[in-house]
């Protein structure tokens, strides 16, 4: 009986936590809502591009087709200064005020729905020298949270990595490892990721795993 009780308490805590982190998925926007979410996205175009393809010069990644729950969670983090707060996170600091412009939950939800609805753009690789064979071995530790196909795993809050900008993946792995991301005391999901950036001992190892992720992107 006690065990049962405890299990259900843990279960409801887990549910509450996942609700807190992902929020409830809003209803699909109707036609007027879709136009509105597209309008909200106008403020993102200068950096992330018309089709969400990103812009390496500006350090803004491809975001088209990311999962809606993940986009919402990240916009909330930028707004609450759990991401982009660290002194070494210059790119995060450029994004932060943009998230502030999404000043209601509705705006966050609708712009996320719009970005998620865009087809992934699969940016061309920019990094050189990564060995996908070695990367595959490293990637075995990532599968639990990011999926064997690198399409993400919502149960672990792991975002999709396939189809991402490769230079952006490298920056993020470096940020996690150096503590520029995932170290804010309220950043629960970032803290889950951070120890795994440590399993990649060198920049070469990061490039290897990214090269392997590249083979899963299409
Ligand atoms: C001034 C340029 C700029 C504008 C405008 C901008 N962003 Fe960003 N965005 C960035 C940069 C730079 C990053 C990368 C931050 C980092 O390296 O951690 C980023 C990161 C993100 C991420 C995180 C992606 C990931 O994989 O974790 C999301 C989501 C995002 N932006 C959505 C938006 C949305 C939605 C808008 C419009 C409301 C927007 N951005 C407007 C520059 C911008
Ligand atoms: C225990 C679960 C877990 C494991 C294992 C894990 N990750 Fe993550 N990873 C996450 C979570 C959760 C996030 C999102 C963090 C956040 O919410 O800011 C993340 C984010 C990332 C990001 C940033 C993506 C973006 O769009 O900004 C990269 C890159 C990444 N992980 C790569 C890896 C690699 C490579 C491995 C294996 C070496 C790995 N992860 C292992 C949970 C995990």
Q: Quick one: pLDDT at residue 34?
A: 75
76 Cα distance to chain centroid: 12
Nearest CA to ligand 2 atom 41: 142
183 phi/psi in degrees, rounded to 5 = -115, -5
Q: Rounded distance, CA 156 to CA 152, Å?
A: 9
Q: Rounded distance, CA 80 to CA 77, Å?
A: 5
Counting ligands in written order, the one closest to the CA of 75 is: 1
Q: Quick one: pLDDT at residue 125?
A: 94
Q: Rounded distance, CA 172 to CA 105, Å?
A: 26
- CB contact set of 3 (below 8 Å; sequence gap of 6+): none
Q: Rounded distance, CA 87 to CA 80, Å?
A: 16
Mutate to test the pocket of ligand 1, among 41, 42, 60, 190 (most ligand atoms within 8 A of CB): 60
The burial class, CB within 10 Å (0-12 / 13-18 / 19+), for 202 is exposed
Cα of 91 from ligand 2 centre, angstroms: 18
State percent of the chain over pLDDT 90.
82
CB 161 within 8 A of CB 152: yes
End-to-end CA distance of the chain: 50
Cα of 162 from ligand 1 centre, angstroms: 18
The tokens describing 10, both together, are 């843990």
Nearest CA to ligand 1 atom 5: 44
Q: Give the closest residue to 127 by CA, choosing from 36, 207, 192, 181.
A: 207
- Please state, as a whole number, how many other Cβ atoms lie within 10 Å of the Cβ of residue 145: 18
Q: Is the CB of residue 171 below 6 angstroms from any atom belonging to ligand 2?
A: no
Q: What is the pLDDT of residues 84-114, one digit of tens each?
A: 999 999 999 999 999 999 999 999 999 999 9
Q: Rounded distance, CA 55 to CA 52, Å?
A: 9
The tokens describing 183, both together, are 């170290």
Reported confidence tier of residue 26, pLDDT bands at 50, 70, 90: low
Task: Check pLDDT > 60 for residue 11.
Answer: no
Cα of 29 from ligand 2 centre, angstroms: 29
Nearest CA to ligand 1 atom 31: 95
Q: Is the CB of residue 153 below 6 angstroms from any atom belonging to ligand 2?
A: no
Cα of 207 from ligand 1 centre, angstroms: 22
Q: What is the pLDDT of residues 41-69, one digit of tens each?
A: 999 999 999 999 999 999 999 999 999 99
Backbone dihedral region for residue 57 (phi beyond 0: left; psi -120 to 50: alpha; all else: beta): alpha
Q: Is the CB of residue 43 below 6 angstroms from any atom belonging to ligand 1?
A: yes
- Please state, as a whole number, how many other Cβ atoms lie within 10 Å of the Cβ of residue 176: 21
CB 137 within 8 A of CB 211: no
Segment 122-136 mean pLDDT: 96
């Amino acid at each position: 009986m006690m065990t049962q009780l405890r299990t259900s308490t843990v279960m409801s805590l887990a549910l509450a936590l996942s609700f807190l982190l992902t929020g409830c998925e809003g209803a699909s926007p109707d036609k007027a809502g879709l136009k509105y979410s597209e309008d909200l996205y106008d403020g993102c175009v200068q950096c992330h591009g018309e089709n969400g393809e990103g812009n390496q010069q500006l350090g803004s990644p491809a975001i088209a087709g990311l999962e809606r729950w993940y986009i919402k969670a990240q916009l909330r983090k930028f707004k609450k200064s759990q991401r982009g707060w660290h002194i070494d996170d210059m790119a995060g600091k450029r994004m932060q005020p943009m998230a502030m412009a999404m000043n209601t939950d509705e705006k966050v939800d609708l712009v996320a729905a719009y970005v998620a609805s865009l087809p992934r753009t699969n940016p061309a690789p920019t990094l050189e020298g990564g060995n996908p064979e070695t990367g595959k071995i490293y990637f075995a530790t990532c599968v639990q949270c990011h999926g064997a196909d690198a399409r993400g795993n919502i149960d672990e809050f792991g975002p999709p990595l396939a189809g991402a900008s490769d230079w952006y993946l490298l920056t993020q792995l470096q940020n996690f490892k150096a503590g520029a991301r995932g170290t804010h005391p309220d950043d629960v999901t970032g803290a889950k990721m951070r120890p795994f950036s440590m399993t990649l001992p060198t920049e070469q190892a990061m490039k290897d795993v990214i090269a392997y992720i590249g083979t899963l992107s299409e």
